[in-house]
Amino acid sequence: MPNFELSVPYNGSTETLDELIALKECGGNRIREIYLNAPQSIAGSGRVGEKTTEEDFTSAVERIRQAGIRVDITMNSTCDGSAWYSAETLTRQIGFIRRMHEDHGVEAVTLANPFLIEHARKACPDLEISASVLSDIDCFSRAESFARAGANTITVDTAINKNLKLLRHIVERLGVEIKLMVNEGCLDKCPYRKFHMNYISHRSKDMDSEGTSFSFACGNITKQDPGQVFKSNWIRPEDLHRYEKITRFFKIVGRDMLPSKVIRCAKAYLNESYNGNLFDILCSSIGYYGIEYSAHIDNKSLDQTSFFKRTATCNRQCHTCTYCDDLAKQLLGYGWITRENLEDLGQYDMIEAIEAQFGGSYPLCPRYTDKPTGQQYATTRQNSNKPFRRNDVTPNKNLARA
């Protein structure tokens, strides 16, 4: 029996929240928790969200808990400014966690800073404390340090998502539960990650748009080296079963996604299957790359490869191997327009126009022949000789950002 459990994001949309609640048990799996940002007056986090008051927050908490789903507060900022360690800041943040736990029944909090984890554990002995993926826990000794600080759940650095031996050691020797982030599409060992997360941490408190600087920086690396798509550490819905002896707990990105993507990803991982373009369930820079270049990989085509086995046992010796590069040449195409792609751009008028004109069919992706060069690729619409071109769509880059 599958019986996997998901941690899914609240993006500030009550309609999305209602849909997630309706999905709470599906395919033999269930949504264990919904995670949401603390109010900006309390702390920053790893994603920029809508302005949230404490009243907004507690209202969402009550709605989630009434549905029989638990709540996880995300306070996983990697930088909260020079006053982060002051007595005033510590009192405010730990006081908020204790108040939400004792007065509103919040079951879990996600923190990146071990200093806060130590204080939260002293204040709330029974609270589940999850060390964030932004804690960069990529080895046993780092996991041990966070467990000693008081974390009883660890969302490991995605760099070790497929190091099954190491994950087993962490679980068995430290007695913690591992929560794996499955659809984050950051570059493997991304050179921008530390700076990007510090930047977001400040923006999340200021409630300023994150912009697209880092998405384009990472996207440019993938543009030059498409094999990065397969070197990234995402886990397909079809591969959850490979972790049965390690964990049954998986986390879906992201609090800043449009409703279409939040629900699509939740359904895919609850059902352990996705028929469609792999990019349509990936986020961060790889997901953005898929939108920017209308990139396409048939998710089910990976069933016919040794992808998981190879990337779980290769020890990331990329300088001696061309497997991911070869896979990109074989499976990656450009110019494909899907309904999901347009939904994630917020192009609902375009969806209506295409479906009205073409009877619901969407363009097909030509076989991969070359890396994108900045020009857009013409595509051939199914059942028609008339091409539908990617540059007929003008992306809303704020909506496109994953």
Distance CA 171, CA 174 (A): 6
pLDDT band at 395 (very low <50, low <70, confident <90, very high): very low
- In this prediction, residue 40 carries a pLDDT of 83
Residue 372 φ then ψ, to 5°: -65, 145
Q: How many CB atoms lie within 10 A of CB 134?
A: 24
| Model confidence pLDDT, tens digit, residues 24-68 | 999 899 999 999 999 988 887 766 666 778 999 999 999 999 999
Q: How many CB atoms lie within 10 A of CB 359?
A: 10
Higher pLDDT, 389 or 25: 25
Distance CA 345, CA 350 (A): 10
**Which position has the token pair 């997630």?**
20
First to last CA, the chain: 32
Please give the biggest Cα pair distance in the chain: 68
pLDDT band at 180 (very low <50, low <70, confident <90, very high): very high
Distance CA 55, CA 249 (A): 29
Find, among 18, 1, 5, 72, the residue nearest to 247 by Cα.
5
Mean pLDDT on 170-195: 95
Find, among 67, 76, 145, 142, the residue nearest to 109 by Cα.
76
Looking from the CA of 191 toward its CB, the CA atoms found within 13 Å total 6
| Model confidence pLDDT, tens digit, residues 69-86 | 999 999 998 988 888 899
> Does residue 397 surpass a pLDDT of 60?
no
**Apex 108 CA angle, 168 and 207, nearest 5:** 110
Distance CA 120, CA 127 (A): 8
Question: With contact defined as beta carbons under 8 Å apart, do 348 and 286 qualify?
Answer: no
Distance CA 160, CA 162 (A): 5
How buried is residue 94: exposed, middle or buried, by Cβ count under 10 Å (0-12/13-18/19+)?
Answer: middle
With a CB cutoff of 8 Å and minimum separation 6, the contacts of 302 are: 236, 238, 278, 331
| Model confidence pLDDT, tens digit, residues 250-298 | 999 978 788 899 999 999 999 999 999 999 999 988 998 998 888 999 9
Question: With contact defined as beta carbons under 8 Å apart, do 222 and 370 qualify?
Answer: no
Question: With contact defined as beta carbons under 8 Å apart, do 348 and 258 qualify?
Answer: no
Find, among 286, 291, 183, the residue nearest to 234 by Cα.
183
Question: With contact defined as beta carbons under 8 Å apart, do 147 and 176 qualify?
Answer: yes
- In this prediction, residue 2 carries a pLDDT of 63
Question: With contact defined as beta carbons under 8 Å apart, do 93 and 45 qualify?
Answer: no
Q: Give, as one character, the DSSP assignment of residue 309.
A: H
| Model confidence pLDDT, tens digit, residues 127-140 | 999 999 999 999 99
Name the pTM for this structure. 0.88
Distance CA 133, CA 299 (A): 25
Question: What's the whole-number average pLDDT of the chain?
Answer: 86
Find, among 52, 49, 108, the residue nearest to 262 by Cα.
49
